[in-house]
Structure 1
Amino acid sequence: MSLSDLRPVPADQLTFRLPRKFEDVAEERRHRQERLVAALRLFGRFGFEEGVAGHITARDPEHPDHFWVNPFGMSFKHVKVSDLILVNHDGQVVEGRYHVNEAAFAIHSQVHQARPDVVAAAHSHSVYGKALSSLGRLLEPITQDVCAFYQDHALFDDYTGVVTDLEEGKRIAAALGGNKAVILRNHGLLTVGESVDAAAWWFITMERSCQVQLLAQAAGEVVPITHENALLTREQIGNDVVAWINFQPLYDQITKSDPDLFD
């Protein structure tokens, strides 16, 4: 076949993934659990662990005031679907055999309560997120990727110790507001999304954006993207469908290398 013989493949014959719609609640629950564990494994692979700190939650599709979360004290790299625990609005484990991280309940319960649009939330003590948080600054529009967060993230400008009080969780949720992310001063990052995939992707790319900002500002004077172009770029790459799409190659990688996560 010569190049002159080539013809475009019809668009309806090309594969392109988009978020699934579910009619069966059990199927949707299993889907969220699998994505949650895949995200946790990726966080472990990317070095986002700091001892027992860090958690990702997914709202249960049948009981919206309950959420699935990784067990307290288990490495992100080892979590399986069968290890996940379901926590109710009182912080009690109603499914599973492990304890819940007290900070996970204090923070995530209030975020989920304040944001009914949010399916998942991610928080960990990643290195560059912690470093930027110690400066008490927001991310600046200095790269295309970080523009996803332009005027769509906030700063929780306080630190009072490990979060174990629901009132502190409420304050974090209030600082988050309607944004996709919040920087917790002297603590780290928290991201949310309409899917586990989106919340996890926002965290991953936010952590990398923190790294880039710290490197760039240490190297010299940074040239920012203009307000108008930063807003335009956010409209192009800052929605949860785009985040979901960006997460899919990572999901494919981790499920191929770690098939035991489905156990």
Structure 2
Amino acid sequence: MSMHTEAILRRDLAAAYRLAALFGWDDTLYTHFSVRLPGVEPRFLINPFGLMFEEIRASDLIVVDMHGRVVEGNADYNVAGFTIHSAVHMARADAHCVIHTHTLAGMAVAATDSGLAQLNQISAEFHQRVGYHTYEGIALDLGERDRLVTSLGDNIALMLRHHGLLSVGASVADAFYVMYYLNKACEIQLAASSLRGVREMPSELSAHACEQFQAAEWQRHLVWEAWLRKLERECPEYKD
């Protein structure tokens, strides 16, 4: 594996943590993002338990294998985070990055019977692309990994009932973009819940808009580069 490649992945994952802090997605020391490292032996980068998102730098990230061993770094990880992230990384070859959050809007929508509603253009991007996973308590049981993977299926996101949100992507940029707009859709739904006369879009219209979004996914890297420029202005030390 090229050290240059790992350096870029470290930079991008550290950027995701810093952006999450700027956007108010953090939950003190809890929740976690990961990115798979290239190589024969499956391993991934994840945050060291004990640092707040606003503190994380590229060099702070630790490397964990699929057996739960820290193979690089001098810190431990959140055990529930290992359960969730290792499950997805082992099952989805395309899910190089996994992002999990406990945002107010995400947890609120995850507590509803119907889940994400098709209320707006933003939610249309997730039309039939979100799975749902039944809450089993804090994810300390490795036996839950198979059920998590089944719930996720081939979707780009997972709503963890009574818990929060999860997104996956071929890169940190992709997974972060998906989480940003999934959370935005939840924020809109939460705001709309206090209004009268809210109507959902017809399924065929949501499907059409979803296809349009998928055709424009190449634009995600432009959004990511803009976010990186924001970090350069506000906290450039994240790359250290």
| TM-score, structure 1 normalization | 0.86
Deviation of the 1:247 alpha carbon: 2.8
User: Secondary structure of 1:163's partner?
Assistant: coil
Deviation of the 1:224 alpha carbon: 2.3
Q: How does 1:215-234 map to 2 (within 5 A)?
A: 215-234=191-210
Deviation of the 1:178 alpha carbon: 0.1
Task: Check whether the contact 1:120–1:196 (CA below 8 A) recurs between aligned residues.
Answer: yes
Relative distance call for 1:152 and 1:195 in structure 2 (3 A) is same
Task: Check whether the contact 1:106–1:164 (CA below 8 A) recurs between aligned residues.
Answer: yes
Runs of 5+ unmatched residues, structure 2: none
> C-alpha distance in 2, partners of 1:236/1:162?
37
Instruction: Indicate which of 142, 147, 152 corresponds to 1:166.
Output: 142
Provide the aligned C-alpha RMSD in A. 1.6
Deviation of the 1:63 alpha carbon: 4.4
Render the CA deviation track for 1:11-55: whole Å, top value 9, x for unaligned.
xxxxxxxxxxxxx73222211111100010011111112232111
Percent identity reads 32
Amino acid in the other structure paired with 1:203: M
Deviation of the 1:198 alpha carbon: 0.8
Relative distance call for 1:119 and 1:92 in structure 2 (3 A) is same
> C-alpha distance in 2, partners of 1:244/1:138?
28
Indicate yes or no: 2:5 matched with 1:32: no
> C-alpha distance in 2, partners of 1:248/1:236?
22
Deviation of the 1:73 alpha carbon: 1.6
Instruction: Indicate which of 52, 56, 81 corresponds to 1:104.
Output: 81
Indicate yes or no: 2:232 matched with 1:260: no
Deviation of the 1:64 alpha carbon: 5.7
Corresponding residue number in structure 2 for 1:153: 130
Deviation of the 1:128 alpha carbon: 0.7
Deviation of the 1:201 alpha carbon: 1.3
| TM-score, structure 2 normalization | 0.94
Corresponding residue number in structure 2 for 1:127: 104
Instruction: Indicate which of 194, 200, 215 corresponds to 2:176.
Output: 200
Task: Check whether the contact 1:38–1:255 (CA below 8 A) recurs between aligned residues.
Answer: no
Runs of 5+ unmatched residues, structure 1: 1-23
Amino acid in the other structure paired with 1:148: E
Corresponding residue number in structure 1 for 2:33: 56
Compare 253-262 and 99-108 and name the one that shifted more: 253-262
Corresponding residue number in structure 2 for 1:247: 224
Task: Check whether the contact 2:57–2:237 (CA below 8 A) recurs between aligned residues.
Answer: yes
> C-alpha distance in 2, partners of 1:73/1:142?
38
Render the CA deviation track for 1:131-154: whole Å, top value 9, x for unaligned.
111114321221111111110001
> C-alpha distance in 2, partners of 1:208/1:25?
36
Relative distance call for 1:151 and 1:85 in structure 2 (3 A) is same
Task: Check whether the contact 1:120–1:199 (CA below 8 A) recurs between aligned residues.
Answer: yes
Deviation of the 1:101 alpha carbon: 1.0
Corresponding residue number in structure 2 for 1:209: 185
> C-alpha distance in 2, partners of 1:71/1:204?
23
Indicate yes or no: 2:165 matched with 1:189: yes
> C-alpha distance in 2, partners of 1:152/1:64?
30
Task: Check whether the contact 1:137–1:155 (CA below 8 A) recurs between aligned residues.
Answer: no
Deviation of the 1:221 alpha carbon: 2.1
Task: Check whether the contact 1:159–1:185 (CA below 8 A) recurs between aligned residues.
Answer: yes
Render the CA deviation track for 1:101-159: whole Å, top value 9, x for unaligned.
10111010011111011110000211111111111432122111111111000111x22
Task: Check whether the contact 1:41–1:76 (CA below 8 A) recurs between aligned residues.
Answer: yes
Q: Which structure has the greater CA radius of gyration?
A: 1
Relative distance call for 1:42 and 1:63 in structure 2 (3 A) is farther
Task: Check whether the contact 1:152–1:181 (CA below 8 A) recurs between aligned residues.
Answer: yes
